[in-house]
Amino acid sequence: MAAARWDLGPIREPLGLSRGLQGFFSIFSFATLGGFQGSVRIQLSCGSHNTSVAAPLGYPFRLHESTFSPSLRELCNGTWPHNIHLLGDFSSSAQFMVTVGAGAFVYSLMALLVLLRWLPRYRGAGSRMPMVDFLATAAFSFLWLVASSAWAKALTDIKVSVGAPLPHCHPPAVICTPQTTPMGALNVSVVFGFLNLILWLGSCWFVFKETHWHRPPAPSAPSAPSAM
């Protein structure tokens, strides 16, 4: 059995380099999404009275739980009889994206550790590590495709939801002016999601080359003829 030792050589190979890049970009993917905190602001004008109201907007994007503050019931002479919530629940897509990103980060670091510590055993005859690695890499590629597509669609719906006008806004008595809601970090999370998809798909080829499907095991040496 090959002795375990540290070897930084795999980092200079496509297989090891891709694992490092996967871990690096996975952090950006789930951190920009999971750490997002913002607000939806609307400027209200009721005659000579001007007020700015805001509703929180952040992960996991259960917008139906976000209420404008200060309470709209106390503004514009009772124009709004009830508190107004944002519309939509996009938590499933957001949480799925964060879960895939965190899982991909952990797996890429574990796979890189195996390459740096146990490369001879990884490439040894009869080793099943490349097979398992290939199946896991293909699975994460599929998960990145599903998660990135779902989150991209959810982000589009979030932008529509936060851009919807408030009810009971009837100029000139009540003028509601929406203010810009920065979502650059959320756009970046979508970009990093599809970038991770490309990285994991490309890594499938490098891992496939380590399996016996691409590189058959070396034939055993012929036995010496027995003495007559």
Question: Ranked by mean pLDDT, which of 12-16, 44-48, 53-57 comes out on top?
Answer: 53-57
> How high is the pLDDT of residue 166?
83
* Among 134, 109, 143, residue whose Cα is nearest residue 11: 109
User: What would the mean pLDDT of 31-54 be, rounded to a whole number?
Assistant: 87
* Among 43, 56, 59, residue whose Cα is nearest residue 166: 43
Decide if 219 is inside a domain.
Answer: no
Q: Which residue range forms the structural domain that includes residue 64?
A: 9-208
Report pLDDT digits (tens) over 66-125. 888 888 888 887 788 888 888 899 999 999 999 999 999 999 999 998 888 877 787 776
Decide if 158 is inside a domain.
Answer: yes
Decide if 46 is inside a domain.
Answer: yes
Decide if 222 is inside a domain.
Answer: no
pTM, two decimal places = 0.82
- The number of domains in the chain is 1
Contact between residue 51 and residue 70 where contact means Cβ atoms under 8 Å apart: yes
Task: Assign 185 to helix, strand or coil.
Answer: helix
What's the rounded Cα separation, in Å, for the pair 164 and 197?
32
Decide if 223 is inside a domain.
Answer: no
- In single-letter form, the type of residue at position 226 comes to S
